[in-house]
Structure 1
């Protein structure tokens, strides 16, 4: 894909999700080769093969709250709603996970601990082990690990944004 096609793709994404893509445009202009490698990484951040939809998005939203409290989190809220995650589950994630059903609360807590590089409580780890098989645990790890890539790049480039209230929109 050439630079013009990449820019058109970014414009379409930006309009669809109301997300500022200026940092990625700058990345593309500054390092086309680096951006190409980044573009090859992007599908990994949305890979979901074995995880149930809600588990994927709860883990992604939990990790994103650790990594970012602004535009990237809002983008993921919009994407979760577009993927048909129930708005009350998305809202519960944004409110710290306490109103999630118990199995999803465990996922939220586990993903938050992973994203924060904290030790995993052995009791929580055991409960996760009964909920998820090894393939699902790997996939959850990928979901959490990739959540920090975008906000980290933005911060490194000086495209930081202060925390903002997150909108839970019922129309994705």
Structure 2
């Protein structure tokens, strides 16, 4: 019964985002308990803080995901961001290595990349996020920076890694360098 429910939920998500959920189906077949654990992950990374800081959170999640993958997981993050109202040009600028041109999305993106690489300048960007959007926004960006790589790494570990691809930013398709 639980397997059927989990399979149905995965199929629905896959259809909604045109996303290959075969790794989810495989995981459900092997271990429903593991699949339930996977289903809990969004509660961690989707802590978004205040509405004013949503763009910075989006940029941080995109950076973390792109750092781990430039394939289907990155496209899923882009699609979800666009569905949430993110500016496609700002998302594209970040993905193309021009986050300084992407406003608050770029601020979150730069913060996440620096936090991931251990760059001490991440503290300056965290303070900038706090100053502009509040401490809760900085916390949400830290959560996003830490979590975006979970799915790409998990998928590769399960044998479902994908090569880099073109990303679609609301109708503008761009080939990213690996």
TM-score relative to the length of structure 1: 0.87
| Larger RCO (CA within 8 A; separation ≥ 6) | 1
Q: Name the residue aligned to 1:99.
A: 101
Q: Hey, what's the Cα distance between the residues in 1 that align with 2:84 and 2:18?
A: 16
Aligned residue pairs total 169
Stretches of 4+ aligned residues off by more than 6 angstroms:
none
Residues 64-89 of structure 1, C-alpha deviations (whole Å, 9 max, x = no match): 11111110000111110000112212
Deviation of the 1:125 alpha carbon: 4.5
Within 1, Cα distance between the matches of 2:107 and 2:42?
Answer: 27
Q: Give the structure 1 partner of residue 3 of structure 2.
A: 3
Q: Is the 8 A contact 1:67 1:115 kept in 2?
A: no
Looking at secondary structure, tell me which structure has more strand per residue: 2
**Distance across 2 between alignment mates of 1:87 and 1:104:** 10
CA contact (8 A) 2:2 2:32 kept: no
**1:33 corresponds to:** 33
1:109-158 C-alpha deviation (Å, 9 max, x unpaired):
11111233x22215445434423432222111111212111111101112
Cα distance per residue 1:23-52 (max 9 Å; x no partner): 111111112212222222233222323252
Q: Does 1:156 align with 2:122?
A: no
Work out whether residues 110 and 120 of structure 1, in 8 Å CA contact, stay in contact via their aligned partners in 2.
no
TM alignment of 1:78-117, pairs within 5 A: 78-96=79-97, 97-101=99-103, 103-116=104-117
- In the alignment, is the contact (CA less than 8 A) between 2:68 and 2:149 conserved in 1? yes
Gap regions ≥5 residues in structure 1: none
Matches within 5 A, 1:9-158: 9-50=9-50, 52-96=53-97, 97-101=99-103, 103-116=104-117, 118-121=118-121, 123-158=124-159
